[in-house]
């Protein structure tokens, strides 16, 4: 790749988070401010050192109000990432590009919401809110669980997978969360039987325990150049590569209009771009965090990133490969099912902790972490 690619052009130098709960008792702006301040201090910086900011278009906190709360004196670059959970990867990519280009020196990325006690994204959409929803809402296709399930069905049919097969992931996620004190489901593991006894959300695809949590909380990161990172207190975590891959004919939340819905094409595209950019491959990864609004998407991404062949992910998971101690531990913090659902950004923080060597469920000597976000992803590594 050329020197201009985003390989090793930026490093994550600070992370911060609030507690994860179902009722934070304070405003989303306050959660954003608390998490951001923790990340800035973790980086050994003062708020006045931050001159760039990025979040999701869906984030309710206003940039100016957050500047005013934290004491950011002058911001020279700001941006927002469209879409839902895919925005997690995009904000980091924007931040990396901003510091690598010199547009700013220290980027703050945050995501904070009261997603359980306030506006619940998993609930049916309000009628007539967004262009494009008319093709779905009148027909009752009104929640992410249903929208994704029409794709999962084709995937299940192609490889003969069942809902019980997918249940093996939530069991792992909850096992990992059980030993993570920051996780909502700390000390609360589940069995496959619990999974099979949970109610259908979308028959015959998703049960309650296949779905991510609804959480209140905030997370934040600070990103700067590798040169500046050398002088900062925490071991710098290099962004070895970062990519997004959005394909034509996507509509509202998914792409029903490409030929073969059993194949998560955006994920395959992102994976091939990421391996090309980094010169690394699945066997080089020591740990992975994988975005999982719903459990089937973990299986699809294990295949898309090449940890196993297409159609072999269920056997791969059943064999224990994704558990702590396995060949590629996935979501050691418990992921979005076990730890919390902060729109996928908390999965990025776990990737940073694993490379620093400071995770609760640490994978010993982790050199490379894949942070997979469906249509995008990044590889984090020791600088």
Partner 1 sequence: MSSVIAPTPDGVDQYFWDGVARKQFLLQKCSACGALRQPPAPMCSECNALEWETQEATGRAKVYSWLVSHHPTEPDADPRIIVVLDLEEGVRFVANLVECNLADIRFGLPVELTWVEYPSMNREAPQILPQFRPTGDAA
291 is catalytic: yes
> Which residue's CB is nearer to partner 1, number 39 or number 202?
202
Question: CB of 121: closest distance to partner 1 in angstroms?
Answer: 14
Question: CB of 150: closest distance to partner 1 in angstroms?
Answer: 5
Site residues, partner 1 (CB under 8 A): 124, 127-128, 131-132, 134-143, 146, 149-151, 153-154, 157, 200-205, 248, 251, 256-257, 261
> Which residue's CB is nearer to partner 1, number 101 or number 123?
123
Question: CB of 202: closest distance to partner 1 in angstroms?
Answer: 5
Backbone CA torsion sign across 12, 247, 1, 368:
positive
Question: CB of 118: closest distance to partner 1 in angstroms?
Answer: 18
176: DSSP letter? H
The single residue of 148, 155, 291, 305 carrying the catalytic annotation is 291
Angle at 47 between CA 45 and CA 51, to 5 degrees: 95
CA distance 35 to 111: 9
**Cα→Cα distances 125→122, 162, 211, 249, Å:** 8, 28, 17, 21
> Which residue's CB is nearer to partner 1, number 205 or number 229?
205
155 is catalytic: no
CA distance 110 to 219: 6
Pair 34, 218: CB distance under 8 Å: yes
Pair 381, 229: CB distance under 8 Å: no
The single residue of 136, 155, 264, 341 carrying the catalytic annotation is 341
> Which residue's CB is nearer to partner 1, number 264 or number 305?
264
> Which residue's CB is nearer to partner 1, number 154 or number 309?
154
Contacts of 173 (CB under 8 A, 6+ apart): 292, 331, 334, 335, 337, 338
> Which residue's CB is nearer to partner 1, number 3 or number 248?
248
Rounded-to-10 torsion of CA 46, 49, 52, 53: 10
CA distance 293 to 87: 13
CA distance 281 to 312: 18
SS3 category, 244: strand
Question: CB of 337: closest distance to partner 1 in angstroms?
Answer: 19
Round to the nearest angstrom and report the end-to-end CA distance of the chain: 19
Which residues does the annotation mark as catalytic?
291, 341
């Amino acid at each position: 790749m050329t020197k201009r690619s985003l390989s090793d052009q930026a490093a994550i130098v600070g992370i911060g988070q609030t507690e994860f709960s179902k009722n934070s008792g304070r405003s989303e702006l306050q959660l954003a401010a608390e998490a951001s301040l923790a990340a800035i201090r973790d980086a050994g910086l003062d708020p006045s050192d931050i001159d760039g900011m990025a979040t999701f278009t869906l984030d309710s906190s206003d940039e100016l109000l957050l500047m005013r709360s934290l004491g950011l004196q002058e911001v020279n670059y700001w941006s927002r990432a469209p879409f839902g959970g895919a925005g997690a990867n995009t904000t980091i990519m924007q931040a990396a590009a901003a510091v690598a280009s010199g547009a700013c020196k220290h980027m703050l990325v945050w995501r904070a919401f009261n997603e359980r006690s306030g506006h619940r994204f998993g609930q049916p959409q309000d009628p007539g809110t967004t262009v494009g929803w008319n093709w779905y809402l009148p027909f009752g296709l009104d929640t992410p669980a249903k929208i994704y399930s029409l794709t999962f069905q084709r995937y299940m049919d192609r490889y003969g997978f069942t809902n019980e097969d997918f249940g093996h992931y939530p069991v792992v996620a909850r096992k990992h969360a059980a030993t993570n004190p920051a996780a909502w489901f700390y000390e609360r593991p589940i069995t496959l039987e619990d999974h099979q006894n949970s109610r259908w959300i979308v028959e015959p695809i998703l049960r309650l325990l296949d779905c991510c949590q609804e959480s209140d909380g905030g997370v934040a990161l600070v990103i700067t150049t590798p040169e500046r990172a050398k002088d900062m207190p925490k071991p710098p975590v290099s962004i070895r590569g970062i990519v997004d891959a959005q394909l034509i004919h996507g509509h509202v939340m998914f792409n029903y209009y490409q030929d073969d819905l059993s194949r998560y094409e955006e994920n395959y595209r992102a994976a091939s771009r990421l391996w090309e950019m980094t010169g690394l491959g699945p066997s080089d990864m020591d740990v992975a965090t994988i975005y999982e609004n719903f459990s089937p998407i973990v299986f699809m991404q294990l295949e898309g990133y090449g940890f196993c062949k297409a159609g072999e992910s269920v056997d791969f998971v059943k064999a224990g490969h994704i558990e702590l101690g396995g060949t590629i531990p996935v979501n050691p913090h418990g992921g979005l099912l076990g730890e919390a659902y902060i729109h996928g950004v908390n999965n990025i923080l776990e990737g940073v902790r694993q490379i620093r060597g400071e995770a609760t469920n640490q994978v010993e000597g982790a050199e490379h972490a894949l942070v997979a976000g469906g249509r995008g992803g990044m590889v984090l590594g020791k600088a």
